[in-house]
Amino acid sequence: MRLVLARRAAASCCAGLLLGLLACGLAAARPGAKEHAPAAAPAETEVQSLVRRYHAAQREVLRQQLCLMTPGCLTDEGRLLDALEVGKRMSQGLADRAQAGDVLAAHERGLIALSAAGLQRARSHSEAENQNPGALVLRRRWAQEQIVAERYLGMAAMAGHPPACLALGKTLSERVPQPEPELVGRLFRCAVSGFSAQGQRRQAVEAYAQMRLALPPQDPAMVEVHAVIHGPQPPERAWRRVEPTEAEALRRGATP
């Protein structure tokens, strides 16, 4: 009996030893396991953090507004005011960085104002249709946000930031009548050339498509940008001037 128990203990010990060696061998067989681990996500920049927190605050504002209008939803005006204050601080942080020369912050602050202007514009049209006197207030706020948007987008566009050039070019091209066609052309040219220089072909083509909607084909900026987009490609219809003698010969050849 003692012999059987001893044999069982020895077998159990050997099995544990073999499992341990097997585990060590598998670990040793993967020396590059850590090298293939997924790379950590890049750290969030200060501008990205401000933008993310601004949009989170805006979502909270909408949620609290809906809750206040819904019977049985438990909340208070304090949460709404807190979210509004957070959004205000984030947008002011972007404005401060833009004033200090941060091009990305200027672009983002301009987009925030542009979005707010579009919202106020839609609301003012809706209130005007209902003959609500509040439409005048909304129209005034729309104009104020539009001025802010153009100022900050202009700061980034002056630094040659392609997305800002495109956004400002699009918003200025929507004015009727168009008071600044040359400026609009330069902004679109900045966008297309900038995207092309950065190797962003798709964005450059999209900016070119927007430019074609805003400017006449004979505009000098259109001619220049067309060369940037289609320069490496052969023309769709290669042609040259036909001399009068050649035209006469072609007509005679075509006559049955």
* The two structure tokens encoding residue 38: 């997924």
Does this model's pTM top 0.85? My answer is no
For residues 205 and 98, give the distance between their C-alpha atoms in angstroms, rounded to a whole number. Answer: 28
H and E: helices and strands count for the chain? 10, 0
What number of other Cβ atoms are within 10 A of residue 84's Cβ? 15
- The torsion of the CA quartet 111, 115, 121, 127, rounded to 10 degrees, works out to -160
- Residue 219 has φ and ψ, to the nearest 5°, of -60, 135
Question: Which amino acid is present at 167?
Answer: A
pLDDT of the chain, 256 residues: tens digit per residue: 444 444 444 444 444 443 343 344 434 444 444 555 566 768 899 999 999 999 999 999 999 999 988 988 888 888 999 999 999 999 999 999 999 999 999 999 999 999 999 988 888 877 766 667 677 788 888 899 999 999 999 999 999 999 999 999 999 998 888 778 889 999 999 999 999 999 999 999 999 999 999 988 888 888 888 888 887 554 455 445 555 665 566 555 554 3
- Nearest Cα to Cα of residue 157 among 143, 172, 141: 172
Residue 117, Cβ density class (10 Å: 0-12 exposed, 13-18 middle, ≥19 buried): buried
